Amino acid sequence: LHAVDIDSGTEVDAGADHPVVTASVHKLCLLVALHQQAAAGLLDLTEQVECPPAARSAGPTGLAAMLDPVRMSLRDAAYLMT
């Protein structure tokens, strides 16, 4: 794994030459962007969003397991990503 501080350029790595599966690491970027936009006043984390069954990923847990449309806040949707 390898990380770079975008402000200072400081680098940290652990086994950076070995390939790894990143799995859900991309969710961190989404969460950071969501909270940056909220902090800038560009969106409200309490805004309600509709999550229809057809727009969900398949799976046995969370929203994927629900049969009906779900309405929740952006904050709650973000929480479910963790």
Q: What is the pLDDT of residues 64-79, one digit of tens each?
A: 899 999 999 999 999 9
Q: Which is more confident, 55 or 22?
A: 55
User: Nearest-5° angle of CA 50, CA 53, CA 58?
Assistant: 125
Q: Is the pLDDT of residue 18 over 90?
A: no
| Nearest one of 11, 79, 16 to 49, comparing CA atoms | 79
pTM of the model: 0.69
pLDDT at 37: 97
